[in-house]
Amino acid sequence: MFERSNTSFTFRIAGFMAKHFERHKGTRFSVSEILYSFDGTSRKDKAYKSKSTAVRKLLKIFEEDFKANNCPPEKFHVKKGKSALYGYPSEIGFHPMEKWLKGKSKPLKRDRDEFLKDLILSSSGLLPDCMLETRKGILRNPSYYISFEQNECYKNRDMIADLFNYIEEKTVIEFQFTPYDAPARKVILSPYFLKEYNQRWFLFGYEHDKKKYNKSFPLDRISNLIPTEDSEIEYRRKPKDIDYTTYFDDIVGVTHELNNGKMNPEWNIMIKTRDKKVHGLIMSKPLMNKGRQKEIQAWNNNEHYGLIEIDACWNIELMAKLLHYSDGIQVISPNEAVDIMRNKINILCRLYNE
């Protein structure tokens, strides 16, 4: 079952503190250190005062738990000048906050499959929350009225709910990753984000062995997913300059890097439409979002063409989208993009002419 309270700051940081103190027995931390380790909040941040107040209240509950288990509170906190430091002693025979966390958890009246269906449904971004509401509450069976393209046979789709929780709880995970063209390898990851594209799910995070941010892993190539067994590995926080609400703005799909590890080139790509319906489709269902596509010339019924420009980083997903329109479009600039499209089409021609 899943827990509604997991989304509240107090509940999430309480769980983090319990795990953090457990992992670092014998070490003491200040309030500011606890907050920084949790989500990067520093004293300069506006939210520091309210967050630190919440942490101090939780620390009192920790102390009460120590008393209830006949353990002197002095073993939990020590004075250092005007400040106080908190943490578990090296030896502790109980689990502080365990009852409190369980008491704050309210099971949702839905199982894993329902959670997953809701998540996949919302991934389309087409169905506003208000459409799921009725006078009697939440619409229980939206599939009676509306349907989205989904791949219910997609391998490892049942991992999504677990990964969602690992991201929420800032848990380091490990798994076997098996690329199509390389041997399987073990990956240790601090997970940050899940994205669905073209009925396929991708996990983004920090790969500890390669010391690299924004590594992406398709879920269908993952196996043996568990929280890491190495307690020495700490969760690597997502840098503030990584914002997944804008990270995908300049690409189609999920790929920001070429096979050689270099970043995809960003081009102003001019597309000459050769079919009126295709022109209309690209304008009503843009290749790019957030102002990165504009109509240079509306469809000309006399000349039988239109012009559309997109500002995008070139990747394999964009090429696939363009090929999808077949002879309804022609990429006319830049020359690099034209050459890529020409070479791919020539390869396809040779295959069908063999």
In a domain, 340, yes or no: yes
Q: 23: helix, coil or strand?
A: helix
| CATH number for the domain that contains residue 325 | 3.30.70
Q: Is residue 246 part of a domain?
A: no
Q: What is the pLDDT of residue 143?
A: 58
Neighbours of 174 (CB within 10 A): 18
Q: What pLDDT is attached to residue 83?
A: 82
Rg of the chain over Cα atoms, rounded to whole angstroms, equals 26
Q: Has residue 241 been placed in a domain? A: no
Structural domain harbouring 87: 4-104
- Same domain for 70 and 117, yes or no, is no
Residue-by-residue DSSP string for 119-151:
HHHHHTS-S-GGGGEETTEE-S-GGGT------
pLDDT tens for the 354 residues of the chain, in order: 333 333 467 888 888 899 899 889 999 999 999 999 988 888 888 888 888 988 999 999 999 999 999 888 888 988 877 788 999 998 888 888 888 887 765 444 344 555 555 555 555 444 444 444 444 444 455 555 666 666 777 888 878 888 888 898 889 999 999 998 889 999 999 999 999 898 899 999 999 999 999 889 999 999 999 988 777 899 999 998 999 989 999 999 999 886 666 778 899 999 999 999 999 999 999 999 888 999 999 999 999 999 999 999 999 999 999 999 999 999 999 999 999 999 999 999 999 998
Can you give the pLDDT at residue 2? 35
Q: Which among 243, 1, 8 is positioned nearest to 108, based on CA atoms?
A: 1
Question: Is 221 in the same domain as 273?
Answer: no
Helix H or strand E segment including 305: strand 305-313
258: in domain: no
- Distance (Å, whole) CA 186 – CA 223: 10
What's the pLDDT score for residue 146?
60
Q: What CATH number should be reported for the domain holding residue 9?
A: 1.10.10.10
Residue 238 lies in a domain: no
Phi and psi at residue 156, in whole multiples of 5°? 70, 20
User: Are 136 and 222 members of one domain?
Assistant: yes
| Domain match, 209 and 305 both | no
140 and 118 within one domain? yes
Question: Are 122 and 219 contained in the same domain?
Answer: yes
Structural domain includes residue 76: yes
**Do 95 and 41 belong to one domain?**
yes
Q: What is the pLDDT of residue 144?
A: 58
DSSP state of 3: B
Domain final position from 104, 130, 145: 104
**Last residue of one domain, picked from the residues 202, 227, 252:** 227
Residues 53 and 135 in one domain: no
Report pLDDT for 275. Answer: 97
Q: How far from each other are the two terminal CA atoms of the chain, in whole angstroms?
A: 56
Do 81 and 143 belong to one domain? Answer: no
Query: Among 315, 259, 264, 260, which residue's Cα sits nearest to residue 287?
Result: 315
**What does the alpha-carbon distance between residue 346 and residue 3 come to, in Å, rounded to a whole number?**
54
The total number of structural domains that make up the chain: 3
- Asked, for residue 232, whether it belongs to a domain, the answer is no
Residues 222 and 165 in one domain: yes
Task: Give the model's pLDDT for residue 86.
Answer: 93
Tokens of 261: 């590890």
- Which amino acid is present at 117? K
For the chain, what percentages of helix, strand and coil (3-state, to nearest 5) are there? 35, 25, 40
pLDDT at residue 32, as a whole number = 92
Place of tokens 């101090």: 56
Boundary residue ending a domain (83, 104, 125): 104
213/131 same-domain check: yes
Contact 20, 36 (CB under 8 A): no
What is the C-alpha separation between 256 and 234, in angstroms, rounded? 26
Report whether 248 contacts 312 (CB < 8 A).
no
Nearest CA to 329 out of 270, 268, 273 is that of: 273
149 by Cβ neighbours in 10 Å (0-12 / 13-18 / 19+) ranks as exposed
| Same domain, residue pair 185 and 217 | yes
The Cα angle at residue 153 between residues 149 and 159, in degrees rounded to 5: 100
Residue 283 is assigned to a structural domain of this protein: yes
At residue 186, the pLDDT reads 95
